[in-house]
Structure 1
Amino acid sequence: MKLSLNWLKDYVDLSGIDIKELWYRFTMSTAEVEEVEFVGQDIQNVVVAKVLSVVPHPESKKLKITQVDSGDGILQIVCGAPNVTEGILVPLAKMGGSVKNMPKLGKVKLVGVESFGMLCSAKELGISDDHGGLLVLEGDYAPGTDIKSIIDIDDVIIEIDNKSLTNRPDLWGHYGIAREIAAIYGRELKPMQLDDLKSAEDKPKLDISVEDTEKCFRYSGLKIDGVKKLETSMNMKVRLFYCGMRPISPLVDLTNYLMLEMGQPMHAFDSRQVESGIVVRATKEPTLFKTLDGTERKLPEDVLLICNREKPVAIAGIMGGENSEVLEDTTSILLESANFEGSSTRKNSTKIGLRTEASARYEKMLDPNMTVTAIQRFVKLLRDMQPDIQFLSALTDVYCCRLEPIDITITKPYIDKYIGNILTKERMVDILRALEFKVDVEGDTFNIKVPTFRATKDITMKVDIIEEITRIFGYDNIQPQTLDIALKPLQYNEERLADHKVKELLSEKFGASEVNSYIWYDNTFNSRMGIETNGQVKVLNPQAQDANTLRDSMVPGMLAFAEKNEKSYEDFLLFEIGSVFKAASPKDKCEQHKNLCILAASKVKSEDELFYDLKGIITFIAKALKNANLDFSVCTGGLNWVHPMKSVDISTNGTPMGYISVVHPMIKKNIAKKLNIAVLEINRDVLQAIDTGVIKYKEPSRFPEVVLDYSFLVDNGVTFDRVNEDIGSFKSDLLNGFGFVTIYTGKGLPEGKKSMTFRFVIGSAEKTMSSDDINAFAGSLIDYMNSVGYALR
């Protein structure tokens, strides 16, 4: 948004203030200033001149030779402007002077004729884009008058970042910015000159009806007659141009001027097109409508319109219609000043693909209490143009959703708690009142009434009041102080730490990949795979009908990941820690807890290898986290993806924890025939609740240890626990420990046998072992294993 410093000076005295310092303070307290541009300084030695004579150039069809009165003599000027005529007053850039984007002027010859200066257009003065002819000055000005004394060419244009004004609808006009500056510097904010509209009080009211009161909060209107032969003043045109708007016609210029001054968009309808009255309603079906820019637009349903009794005449808050445009012969207008709901204006603007200066302001939630004031200001400016205008109606005001001021009570000690005891009570009150807050003081208590122009989406609570005081006082004026608070040690969440440790072990030690799934079943996938679930907790408003049940197991979701990955990888290990939900029936209380689910899949390894891989992983996790051993027993079943033979239940000290299973052959076939899959699912809360076992330490031997791996042939019906227990019964002074390595069930084994590999660590605390010692241990171990039924492979 662009601002004119000359415009701001109408409302606040800026004398004695350094301009650059002003906008630095404004940035620090209110909104970010992106650029400060000094305009008009390049226009030098330009005066009013009267054209005395105009004759054609003898050698050029376009050029004319003029004699002009410059105030201090008659000058010959060669000019090509089509509108140069005798008797007009125009700007003259004298020799030694300069205009926009041109070097200093001197005497020149144009097609053989000498010219001693330059007659200027508005564009050459930098106050317009119009280069169609000379700027003709209306009024009785003496030749030689400095052009800057009658036109405000010198100005400072400030551009403010729009994003920093999103929550400040009161700053989308010059008057709101002037209010901020007055508060920052402790200066008086001058009142805006308004018309009292008393001569309209006895007139009939307009027929205005608001059908959609959710999108239109307020609609104010006034019918005015006698609006003819109007002329926008030059300084008004300059201000509009400097602030990024093109002057169009007097009435349009006035509405745009009011919008830039107050932030309140307005619209003037030709009264002949709204004679039957005004209806504010939303479209009920797609509607074609031609806007003021001549474009026919297809309006979707639920777009708010301003209509006469028969047809639309404007898109509310966005743009008027071509059918109600003010024309050259218009003498009577219906002036609209309304307030529309912000989000609906933004949505409609996006739907239509049309964003305007008006919609940009309405979508910020303007103060509805500003509509009548804007009409009073418009009428005042209109009277300055044409004093004899007349009212054809009374001011008609339909206020549907009244916005009341917000009341906030706060104490000085509460404010001091945040900013320190650096401001007196009187200074705080002065700041708030400068911002037009009403403040009643009772001791150290402030009873504050927030003005409605700050109550639409900005000031709502105590901390907002503190921010208002501190930003105007200046954040950089507050000295940082060390907080006097008690330091307490951070309380760690043990469950979160345990989860992190599990993820770390799975990813770093076992190379597993973490996945994240939704907490509901994909019923379509489960049905396609033949997976049957028992979920009883239903979602009342599911995103899709195939996702209406919260999961009571994580395995179906993991199997979906297996199907997605099987074509890309030969083998993979996936895991997830997530919530599951269980209830006996849809009417019973729901229990929620977290599970750990691990899926191992491979086209290379057998099902048994995957099964024992998972068994080793969960055994290692329990040992690493809790120094605890888990119990494995025959699986009790109950889930249709669990293999009837190759599955075990997991428990700890009699408490069920979960299970490990190869995926049922029927479901495996539906996922991928060549992909072997095993799954593990345990209750994370049960794992977390295990008492951590005491870790016993013993002094390590000073002599080296030896690691021996042996594979034994074991009957298929013998469990791991049985083998592990039998090895544990072997006694040797050299045995320091043993552990399971792997299992093999492939080719090369006797029928009905499997190969189980264990690792034995041996060593002596007294000496370095010799080969005889090692061989003696090996022979003793092999003999013992043979005696309990396990032959060396």
Structure 2
Amino acid sequence: MKVPFNWLLEYVDINKDINEVAEKLTLTGSKVEEVIEKGKEIDRVVTGKIIKTEKHPNADKLTICQVDVKDEVLQIVTGADNIKEGDIVPVALHGSTLPGGVKIKKGKLRGAESNGMLCSEAELGLADEDSVHGIMILSEDTPIGVDIKEILGLNGGVIDFEITSNRADCFSIYGIARETAASFGCELKKLDLSFKENNENISDYLKVEVQTPLCRRYMAKMIKNIKIGPSPEWMQAKLQEAGVRPINNVVDITNYVMLELGQPLHAFDYNNIEGNKIIVKMASDEKFTTLDGVERQLDNSMIVISDAEKTVAVAGVMGGQNSEVTESTNTIVLESANFDGVTTRLSSKKLGLRTEASSRFEKDLDPNLVEIAVNRACHLFETLGVGEVVGGVIDIYSNKLEPHYVRVSPKWINDFLGTNINVEDMVKMLNRLEMEVEVKDELIIKVPTFRQDVKIKEDVAEEIARLYGYDIIPTQKIVGEAVEAEITKEQKMIETVKRTMVASSLYEALTYSFYSPKVFDKINISKDSELRNAINIANPLGEDFSIMRTTLIPSMLEAMQRNILRDNKEVGLFEIGKVYLNIGKDLPDERYKLCVAIAGDVDFYNLKGIIENLIEALSVDKAEFERETNNPIFHPGRCAKLLVRKKNAGVLGEVHPDVLENYDLETRVYIAEIDLPTLFEAAKLDKKYKPLPKYPAVLRDMALLVKDEVEVKKIEDIMLKQGKGIIEEIRLFDVYKGKQIPEGFKSVAYSIIYRAEDRTLTDEEINKVHNSIVKELEEKLDAKLR
């Protein structure tokens, strides 16, 4: 929120620089975003009166002006077409400076001498070029030869605040002035709310009916004999500094009061109010054109203002074109109301229409502010001679909001803050915030209705702390015993997984937990795959981030694509992240998965080795690999399932060429996706050691001729089963196909290590087991010794 400094100073009498005020307010809890000193760069720009104009003899679009700047008459050439003799305008003299460091010097334009420049609002930094046209025309009573900064109030600058949603009272100039007065310990000046009324009564002209409790208060005043025109220069300058474009005196007054007090007002053209009646109710399903000329769809969740026949405004958001103030308006109904904040926010969001009014109403304004604001507006209407205030007021206020009380002990406040503030100082600080305090055994604090954020004793302590000064509250060492936090078994295992992956020369990747539904087509999974049953995000950033992921593979492939296409040929990545499986309940099944991807001078067995390292690091028992040929993501001949205790724990293999093509990759990529909960169920973090063997081992080699389709795992399973507990290790050291090997067969060679823990094995024991292995292999796999 932009607060013009000179406007702020109208309510507090302090002799401080704008930066001093900004710093102090920051220290007392009002967050300052920026200090903008617009007039700081303006130098030697004064007001001047155009006393004569004539066409430039050498240029049709230029005008030569004689401009009186009090001490002299200057000849200035301009291309503006909105000026005439008698206008008072800003004049940049020779040697002057404008915002942006622009220097103005005298010279010649198409042969005619020009001793300065006539300035527009854009050139003075008061507006952009799209919102204004031509030279800035000042009011007729503006004195000439006076510094323009003094006329337009540009000596002060603007403080831009970020107001938190719980401080609706600060969403106004007067609210910030209240904070300034409290921060510096000075007096807050009262607003002039006085005005005269005629002898008529508004009740003879208008009836108001409130049909919804979501309108907590509705006040209406009537102004007759309206004279539509521009508002005074001082008002326009304040509005522009605060970021609001002046429109006409009626609209400007309502905007001025809104900025000043934080209470939005709205003016209806009385002649467009059918049936002389205003009804506040919930909307029906209807189309309604707002002031910005856009037709919008309303529904029954929105509060509207209507007359006897039609809707005339969306309450708290924007009025309608059918009742707006125009140049022909002569009587207005001035609305000052209070609407439910949540309803206003939801209506604004549904309509896609956020306004200055809605941004205030959604913060739940004080209903008692309604009367102050409408009286302030009536004062301005009368003072500026814009219209005549009709007597009486319509005020519907069923449940009046009263001040509330908070009780707190001064000792508790000091203990809580770590301070030693005496009670008298506490009372003074709370009084500066317009809180009345009664001192008994504790402080009994009467909190004004505009401070609904102060509800509990901690809130009171915060108010005292910020006025006392956070910067002077003494620092104290924390007293207590530090206790080392215990980490869970799952956390320990995840750390083990990370260490193992890093030890395998992989880099950790982090990807989003959501992606596009299109990724399922890119990885070639079937239309009926469970992976497609993803959870849709209610408010996605776009289609590319519209569902929660059910597998990490698409995200990992994108990461590999980014690396490989940027000429990083040797890539090794891993990610530990959650997938979100739709199990038909309110909450998804969130499961940790490990995804590993490698590319470069590697093959399937490098990937398998990484997973085997992990199995060993976690001491997973009963883990085995089984060929997988039906997974469309992977190459059918280079893919395996990981089984742990006969449960499917993941898949690993070479990515299918069709999938690689979808990712514009020509390099082979190997990926594994492991279900960590299944792995963790079979893991053992406690290491058990046994002594080194005392008895010697016996090594026997075995070369077998088997058919191509026989898997080595089946051979090893038979060996171990027949091993009678004396096989310590089986090592596959050769697989050969070629000369001397028949077509359709392969040679598989093993080293088998025999050892017993309690004795030295005899040749007879070993031969018996070895022979039984050979026999079983011949019977089950049709294997033959070579």
Q: Where on the TM-score scale, by shorter chain, does this alignment land: which range? A: 0.5 to 0.7
Quick check: 1:37–1:156 contact (8 Å CA) kept in 2?
Answer: yes
Moved more, 193-202 or 782-791: 193-202
Deviation at 1:279?
A: 2.0
Quick check: 1:46–1:97 contact (8 Å CA) kept in 2?
Answer: no
Show the counterpart of 1:485. 480
Show the counterpart of 1:785. 769
Q: Distance in 1 between matches of 2:163 and 2:353?
A: 22
Show the counterpart of 1:696. 690
Show the counterpart of 2:7. 7
Show the counterpart of 2:221. 222
Show the counterpart of 2:85. 84
The partner residue of 1:423 within 414, 421, 424 is 421
2:469 corresponds to 1:474? yes
Q: Distance in 1 between matches of 2:722 and 2:423?
A: 85
Give matches, 1:659-678, under 5 Å: 659=647
Q: 1:750 to 1:358 in 2, by over 3 A?
A: same
Q: Distance in 2 between matches of 1:286 and 1:754?
A: 82
Deviation at 1:241?
A: 2.5
Q: 1:502 to 1:97 in 2, by over 3 A?
A: closer
Deviation at 1:490?
A: 1.9
Q: 1:696 to 1:266 in 2, by over 3 A?
A: same
Show the counterpart of 1:39. 39
Q: Distance in 1 between matches of 2:224 and 2:498?
A: 79
Give matches, 1:294-693, under 5 Å: 295-302=293-300, 303-386=302-385, 389-392=388-391, 394-399=392-397, 407-443=405-441, 445-455=442-452, 458-501=453-496, 625=618, 659=647, 687=682, 692=686
Q: SS of the counterpart of 2:203?
A: coil
Q: Distance in 1 between matches of 2:675 and 2:111?
A: 97
Q: Distance in 2 between matches of 1:166 and 1:76?
A: 54
Quick check: 1:712–1:755 contact (8 Å CA) kept in 2?
Answer: yes
Q: Distance in 1 between matches of 2:9 and 2:424?
A: 27
Q: Distance in 1 between matches of 2:2 and 2:593?
A: 59
Quick check: 2:182–2:432 contact (8 Å CA) kept in 1?
Answer: yes
Q: Distance in 1 between matches of 2:174 and 2:680?
A: 62
Q: 1:466 to 1:197 in 2, by over 3 A?
A: farther
Q: SS of the counterpart of 2:729?
A: strand
Q: Distance in 2 between matches of 1:84 and 1:631?
A: 96
Q: 1:59 to 1:219 in 2, by over 3 A?
A: closer
Q: Distance in 1 between matches of 2:462 and 2:488?
A: 35
Q: 1:707 to 1:144 in 2, by over 3 A?
A: farther
Deviation at 1:266?
A: 0.9
Larger radius of gyration: 1
Q: Distance in 2 between matches of 1:504 and 1:709?
A: 37
Quick check: 1:123–1:131 contact (8 Å CA) kept in 2?
Answer: no
Deviation at 1:177?
A: 0.9
Deviation at 1:483?
A: 0.6
Look up the equivalent residue of 2:475 and give its one-letter code.
Answer: P
Look up the equivalent residue of 1:84 and give its one-letter code.
Answer: E
Look up the equivalent residue of 2:477 and give its one-letter code.
Answer: T
Deviation at 1:264?
A: 1.5
Q: 1:660 to 1:409 in 2, by over 3 A?
A: same
Q: Distance in 1 between matches of 2:650 and 2:55?
A: 106
Q: Per-residue displacement from partner, 1:570-613 (whole Å, max 9, x unpaired)?
A: xx9999999999x9xx9xxxxx99999999xxxxxxxxx99xx9
Q: SS of the counterpart of 1:453?
A: coil
Quick check: 2:12–2:189 contact (8 Å CA) kept in 1?
Answer: yes
Quick check: 1:220–1:396 contact (8 Å CA) kept in 2?
Answer: yes
Deviation at 1:178?
A: 0.8
Q: SS of the counterpart of 2:372?
A: helix
Quick check: 2:553–2:673 contact (8 Å CA) kept in 1?
Answer: no
Show the counterpart of 1:536. none
Q: Distance in 2 between matches of 1:304 and 1:350?
A: 14
Unmatched 5+ residue regions in structure 1? 519-523, 533-541, 545-556, 587-591, 600-608, 633-646, 651-656, 664-676, 732-736, 764-775
Q: 1:788 to 1:218 in 2, by over 3 A?
A: same
Q: Under a length normalisation based on structure 2, what TM-score does the superposition of the two structures give?
A: 0.66
Q: SS of the counterpart of 1:260?
A: helix
Deviation at 1:278?
A: 1.3
Q: SS of the counterpart of 2:190?
A: coil
Deviation at 1:374?
A: 0.6
Deviation at 1:648?
A: 14
Q: Per-residue displacement from partner, 1:210-237 (whole Å, max 9, x unpaired)?
A: 34444x4432212232433777333222
Unmatched 5+ residue regions in structure 2? 515-519, 538-549, 562-571, 597-603, 625-640, 652-671, 775-783
Deviation at 1:155?
A: 2.7
Q: SS of the counterpart of 1:184?
A: helix
Look up the equivalent residue of 1:176 and give its one-letter code.
Answer: G
Q: SS of the counterpart of 1:190?
A: coil
Q: SS of the counterpart of 1:191?
A: coil
Look up the equivalent residue of 2:471 and give its one-letter code.
Answer: D
Q: Distance in 2 between matches of 1:409 and 1:258?
A: 35
Q: 1:707 to 1:411 in 2, by over 3 A?
A: farther
Quick check: 1:726–1:788 contact (8 Å CA) kept in 2?
Answer: yes
Deviation at 1:401?
A: 7.0
Look up the equivalent residue of 2:13 and give its one-letter code.
Answer: D
Deviation at 1:262?
A: 1.0
Q: Per-residue displacement from partner, 1:130-187 (whole Å, max 9, x unpaired)?
A: 6457534238xxx7784679835343222415x5544432222110111111121111
Look up the equivalent residue of 1:373 and give its one-letter code.
Answer: I
Quick check: 1:598–1:679 contact (8 Å CA) kept in 2?
Answer: yes
Show the counterpart of 1:267. 266
Deviation at 1:239?
A: 1.4
Q: SS of the counterpart of 2:186?
A: coil
Q: Per-residue displacement from partner, 1:110-135 (whole Å, max 9, x unpaired)?
A: 987998x9998888877785645753
Moved more, 307-316 or 496-505: 496-505
Quick check: 1:220–1:336 contact (8 Å CA) kept in 2?
Answer: yes
2:141 corresponds to 1:138? yes
Show the counterpart of 1:772. none
Q: SS of the counterpart of 2:382?
A: helix
Show the counterpart of 2:729. 738
Give matches, 1:188-199, under 5 Å: 188-195=187-194
Q: Distance in 1 between matches of 2:701 and 2:618?
A: 28
Q: 1:755 to 1:184 in 2, by over 3 A?
A: same
Deviation at 1:253?
A: 1.3
Q: Distance in 2 between matches of 1:309 and 1:167?
A: 37
Deviation at 1:195?
A: 3.3
Q: Distance in 1 between matches of 2:674 and 2:151?
A: 84
Deviation at 1:251?
A: 1.2
Deviation at 1:267?
A: 1.1
Q: Distance in 1 between matches of 2:482 and 2:682?
A: 33
Look up the equivalent residue of 2:140 and give its one-letter code.
Answer: L
Quick check: 2:344–2:362 contact (8 Å CA) kept in 1?
Answer: yes
Q: Distance in 2 between matches of 1:282 and 1:239?
A: 36
Q: 1:126 to 1:618 in 2, by over 3 A?
A: closer
Deviation at 1:753?
A: 13
Deviation at 1:397?
A: 2.6
Q: Distance in 2 between matches of 1:580 and 1:124?
A: 56
Deviation at 1:409?
A: 4.1
Quick check: 2:219–2:395 contact (8 Å CA) kept in 1?
Answer: yes
Quick check: 1:120–1:135 contact (8 Å CA) kept in 2?
Answer: no
Q: SS of the counterpart of 2:35?
A: strand
The partner residue of 2:753 within 757, 760, 763 is 760
Quick check: 1:404–1:452 contact (8 Å CA) kept in 2?
Answer: yes
Give matches, 1:26-175, under 5 Å: 26-29=25-28, 30-39=30-39, 42=42, 44=44, 46=46, 63=64, 70=70, 76=73, 82-85=83-86, 90=88, 131=134, 134-138=137-141, 146=146, 151-161=151-161, 163-175=162-174
Q: Distance in 1 between matches of 2:177 and 2:693?
A: 82
Q: Distance in 2 between matches of 1:223 and 1:366?
A: 23
